[in-house]
Amino acid sequence: MTWRAVCALLLLAGSLAAQYQDLTTDRHGWKAAFSSALSLKGERRNDYPKLFEVDGSGGLRTLRDEPVVINAGDRAPVNFPMLIRPEFSSDGTRMAFTGERWCIGGSGCVAVERTLGRVVWMDGSREAPAAGTARISANGRWAMYTNPTSLANPYRFYRLDFETGRSEFGRTGLSGMPGTGRRVVADDGTVVSAPGGRTMTVMRPGQPDMILDLPFSAAAVTISTDGRMAVAETSDVAPMLWLVDLLTMQPMPAVVAAEGVRQPALSDDGMTLMFLSGANWAAKNDSLAVQVWTMDLATGRLRQWSSEAAGVAEATISGDGLVVWAVSSDGRLLRIDGVSGETKTVVGAAAVLETPESAVWAPGSRYRLAGRGLKGASVRWQGMELSVAQSEDAWVEFLAPWDAVLGPGKLEVEGAESPFQAFQLTGEMRPVAPRFIKTDGYAHGLRADGSPLTLDNAAAPGELVTLLMRGLGPCDAEGRTLAQFEATWEGSVALEVTGSTMDPWTPGTYRLMVQIPGQAAGPMLVSVKEAGREYAEESGWVAVY
């Protein structure tokens, strides 16, 4: 596999991931940073994750962008271009983050480091890099670099005190680290981790590691800034939260819900615990969508901060406990003011497509692409603006013009008000590219009496059905396709195709008339190809009783 192929796979995975992730904010919650593979309009396009900063007024800028640098014949890039896990110090003057890179070559990659953690001073005065994933304390004094990915490193854990310059190395890596926006390094340098099973590791500077036995299995753990308390998320299907007193080593249950409780984060004073849950404690979340909640650890009072219909995917709380930054499940970046109660969409959802079943299109046809942030989106093929028939947040439907450029190229989908560049999908435009219109693998169609062909209204053996198609190409004046088509079932048994025409009611769709064989029984897998081609170009199930 070439490095370009690896890049393509990484980009494909990234297209399905959150648009904005790894949220972090400062003490007062005025600014936040996040990681995203998107690129701002007017800037050089780079489809790898990079770091952005946004403020409460909506001011958005690229904070860190490292295009791939790779030399011919190398197994890995020279740099670490995939930037993730930003984490501010509470005053916002320092930030830790991690760069990742890939390596191709099996055992030849043993000595190639895949991660480089860095702590940077936001004024540009200093930078502290080391192998592994970097995290920082709220006061900015302590940094931790853990879990280097090559076997060439002499350590698995490295802690650095920026005030004294003192450092510590260890051979034990950390696991169970939560995402950024929830601390794992306290202001006194104490580090916590959940190594698996019913234990938690507490690592204080200059002291032997302590292994604490727990009455539960911890998936992740975060620590208060004073190093006196930890919050653990259990590994249950519906996780719960436990508080662990790091002085007495006593755990106690904190938050339990049948819907689960996830992503705990603490304010700097350790008195406000934020988390995500689909519970309905306040009787304002009847849909049980995942929302942002806080608990006052002095009084036990619960508060619901968000009321997002789509739910919330990720959130973090400011150091003073008065502001929450969150990413909604429909892709918007939100700032929630705990004093006024105002929820503001600071950055709208960018257009992102799900990976389609096929990225081959034909002129004259109508296509629907699924994703999010697509309401009002524009669509282009090789720079040509395409006609958008309909759009909603979750899909966009467009018509490929008859004069569309044939061959491989890029389809671009751009959000109506997004500050980011268009989402790009690599595909091909062919003169003819038959595709069923289908749902859950079953072709849409009509029975002989004109009623919809469905599992509940399946065709009879021997019946003539009309299958709805895309991509059958140009037609004559009577609406008949110029291309001829063949159909088979069970892989090789020929079906009689009695005609193929343009649908008279829906521009961009076609009708393929097929005779169901008399011996058919139950759903049948039908394959279609242009006559003369060696292999089937499309397959789909047809409902037959």
pLDDT tops 70 at residue 540: yes
Q: Whose CA is closest to 520, among 490, 487, 475?
A: 490
Q: Whose CA is closest to 219, among 270, 178, 159?
A: 178
The average pLDDT across 230-253 equals 97
User: For residue 170, is it within any domain?
Assistant: no
pLDDT tens digits for range 140-167: 999 999 999 998 888 999 999 999 999 9
Measured between alpha carbons, how far is 517 from 521 in angstroms, rounded to an integer? 9
pLDDT on residue 17: 40
Point out which residues pair with 116 in neighbouring strands: 99, 131
177: confidence class by pLDDT, cuts 50, 70, 90? confident
5: confidence class by pLDDT, cuts 50, 70, 90? very low
413 and 455, same domain (yes or no): no
Strand 423-429 with 360-361, pairing: parallel
Point out which residues pair with 436 in neighbouring strands: 469
Q: Tell me which residue has tokens 């802690």.
A: 159
pLDDT on residue 173: 87
Q: What is the mean pLDDT of the chain?
A: 94
pLDDT tens digits for range 509-526: 999 999 999 999 999 999
In three-state secondary structure terms, 313 is strand
Percentage of the chain modeled with pLDDT above 90: 90
- What CATH number is associated with residue 527? 2.60.40
pLDDT on residue 12: 38
User: For residue 199, is it within any domain?
Assistant: yes
Higher pLDDT, 315 or 2: 315
Task: Measure CA 480 to chain center.
Answer: 43
Structural domain harbouring 420: 352-429
Task: Measure CA 294 to chain center.
Answer: 25
Measured between alpha carbons, how far is 151 from 146 in angstroms, rounded to an integer? 13
507 and 440, same domain (yes or no): yes
User: For residue 28, is it within any domain?
Assistant: no
Domain limit, last residue, from 401, 429, 457: 429
Percentage of the chain modeled with pLDDT above 70: 97
502 and 525, same domain (yes or no): yes
Higher pLDDT, 369 or 15: 369
- What CATH number is associated with residue 370? 2.60.40.10
> Based on the structure, what is the number of domains in the chain?
3
The average pLDDT across 269-275 equals 98
User: For residue 356, is it within any domain?
Assistant: yes
pLDDT tops 50 at residue 16: no
pLDDT tops 50 at residue 6: no
The average pLDDT across 172-199 equals 92
User: For residue 101, is it within any domain?
Assistant: no
226 and 244, same domain (yes or no): yes
428 Cβ contact list (under 8 Å, min separation 6): 359, 360, 361, 407, 408, 409
441 and 504, same domain (yes or no): yes
267 Cβ contact list (under 8 Å, min separation 6): 274, 317, 318, 319, 320, 321
| 377 in Cβ contact with 353 (< 8 Å) | no
pLDDT on residue 439: 92
| 119 in Cβ contact with 134 (< 8 Å) | yes
User: For residue 23, is it within any domain?
Assistant: no
448 and 512, same domain (yes or no): yes
Q: Give kind and range of the element (H or E) at residue 11.
A: helix 3-16
The average pLDDT across 209-237 equals 97
pLDDT tens digits for range 21-31: 999 999 999 99
18: confidence class by pLDDT, cuts 50, 70, 90? low
213 and 244, same domain (yes or no): yes
Measured between alpha carbons, how far is 101 from 69 in angstroms, rounded to an integer? 10
Higher pLDDT, 181 or 121: 121
Domain limit, last residue, from 406, 429, 452: 429
461 and 523, same domain (yes or no): yes
pLDDT tens digits for range 81-104: 999 999 999 999 999 999 999 999
538 and 439, same domain (yes or no): yes
User: For residue 442, is it within any domain?
Assistant: yes
User: For residue 235, is it within any domain?
Assistant: yes
452 and 389, same domain (yes or no): no
pTM: 0.88
420 and 473, same domain (yes or no): no
440 and 518, same domain (yes or no): yes
Domain limit, last residue, from 429, 448, 474: 429
4: confidence class by pLDDT, cuts 50, 70, 90? very low
pLDDT tops 70 at residue 63: yes
Tokens read off for 348: 């709208």
The average pLDDT across 464-478 equals 98
pLDDT on residue 9: 37
